[in-house]
Amino acid sequence: MIDYESDHSSDDEDQLISKSQLKREMQALQDMGKKMMELPQERVKQLPMSDSLRQAIEESWRIGQREARRRHLQLIGKLLRKEDDVESLITMLQALDSGSEEHTRRHHLAERWRDQLIAGDNDTLTSFVDYSPGCDIQHLRNLVRNAKRDQEKQKNTGAAKKLFRFLREAIDTAENPSGS
């Protein structure tokens, strides 16, 4: 008697992906490509991607016809399948998407750093510079000093908001070094 199950190892079964699953994955990549097409140019520059994908996205901004955009979106999905590091691209897109958990996490992280820097001393500043080594230290010191001054005088000149924006950009750069 022939044992049909012994011909297929469990590794082969793990390798088999249904056609429907492949279509779902391709559709997810096209949806991701659509989000990338809708991003402003300065945000696209921050994303870690190949030059061919970046050129395809920039080209999509010039396409106005519906059917042409749909076909171009399929091209972008195909290019996304060839990308080396899709996971970091997904993480960065989620960080830009205001409804995502990653965006919220980074937002709260920037708020905590801002509050600690305003309340803290040079050790806190050094800790942040260790976390984000590429940031402009002198500019950071000035922003912290202005925010502390606002807090002491109980004024709101927007210094804390400027500090927050700086910290958020530094956090994004620190967590996605290939996108900078």
Q: Which residue has the higher pLDDT, 172 or 62?
A: 62
Mean pLDDT, range 93-103, rounded to an integer = 73
Q: Which two tokens stand for residue 167?
A: 């910290």
Instruction: Tell me what pLDDT residue 133 has.
Output: 87
**Amino acid making up residue 20:** S
Round to whole Å and give the CA distance between 128 and 133: 8
Report the first-to-last Cα separation within the chain, whole angstroms. Answer: 63
Q: Confirm if 116 and 124 have CB atoms less than 8 A apart.
A: yes
86: left (phi over 0), alpha (psi -120 to 50) or beta: alpha
Round to whole Å and give the CA distance between 51 and 45: 10
Q: Confirm if 98 and 106 have CB atoms less than 8 A apart.
A: no
- 97 CB burial (10 A radius; 0-12, 13-18, 19+): middle
> What is the biggest distance separating any 2 CA atoms in the chain, rounded to whole angstroms?
90
Q: Confirm if 32 and 90 have CB atoms less than 8 A apart.
A: yes
Q: What is the pLDDT of residues 103-129, one digit of tens each?
A: 788 889 999 999 999 998 888 888 999
**Amino acid making up residue 93:** L
Pick from 145, 162, 143: nearest CA to 153: 145
Instruction: Tell me what pLDDT residue 162 has.
Output: 93
Mean pLDDT, range 149-178, rounded to an integer = 86
Instruction: Tell me what pLDDT residue 37 has.
Output: 85
Can you tell me which residue has the tokens 């606002």?
150
Round to whole Å and give the CA distance between 54 and 36: 10
Instruction: Tell me what pLDDT residue 147 has.
Output: 92
Instruction: Tell me what pLDDT residue 14 has.
Output: 54
Q: What is the pLDDT of residues 132-155, one digit of tens each?
A: 888 899 999 999 999 999 989 888
Instruction: Tell me what pLDDT residue 163 has.
Output: 93
Q: Confirm if 114 and 179 have CB atoms less than 8 A apart.
A: no
Q: What is the pLDDT of residues 35-61, one digit of tens each?
A: 888 887 877 887 888 889 889 988 988
Residue 12 has pLDDT above 80, yes or no: no
Instruction: Tell me what pLDDT residue 10 has.
Output: 47
- pLDDT band of 161, cuts 50, 70, 90: very high
Residue 173 has pLDDT above 50, yes or no: yes
Q: What is the pLDDT of residues 58-82, one digit of tens each?
A: 898 888 898 998 899 889 988 888 8
Domains in the chain (CATH in brackets) are: 13-96 (1.10.60.30), 101-179 (1.10.60.30)
